[in-house]
Amino acid sequence: MSSILLGRIPSLADRVSDIPPDVEGIVRKAMSLDREDRYQTVAQIGETLRETYERLSRGSPSHVPR
């Protein structure tokens, strides 16, 4: 927990080998220490998750959120 508070967020890929880069990007953005970098609403993260699910279901290339 202290690592997260200090901004040293462990990579999910280190623990879950088959996690799509898209999903890791969503989690990183949601956990950003800078509130301006995080999703501003639940609707935003929901929309990003929906779009990512649809893209991954089609086998489309990754698009990591910024």
Whether the pLDDT of residue 62 is over 80: the answer is no
Q: How many domains does the chain have?
A: 1
Among candidates 20, 39, 23, which has minimal Cα distance to 31? Answer: 39
> 25 lies in which domain range?
2-58
Q: Is residue 65 part of a domain?
A: no
Residue 29: strand, helix, or coil: helix
Give a yes or no: residue 36 inside a domain: yes
What is the distance in angstroms between the CA of the first residue and the CA of the last residue of the chain? 23
Which pLDDT tens digit goes with each residue over 3-54?
Answer: 666 767 788 888 888 899 999 999 999 988 899 999 999 999 999 999 999 9
Q: Is residue 48 included in any domain, yes or no?
A: yes
User: For residue 8, what pLDDT is reported?
Assistant: 73
Res 51: pLDDT:
94
Our measurement of the distance from residue 19's CA atom to the centroid of its chain's CA atoms, rounded to an integer in Å, reads 11
Rounded to two decimals, what is the model's pTM? 0.76
Q: What is the pLDDT of residue 33?
A: 86
Buried b (16+ CB within 10 A) or exposed e, 22-31: bbbbbebbee
Does a structural domain hold residue 27? Answer: yes
Is residue 61 pLDDT above 60, yes or no? yes
- Within-domain flag for 66: no
Residues near 54 by Cβ (< 8 Å), separated by ≥ 6? none
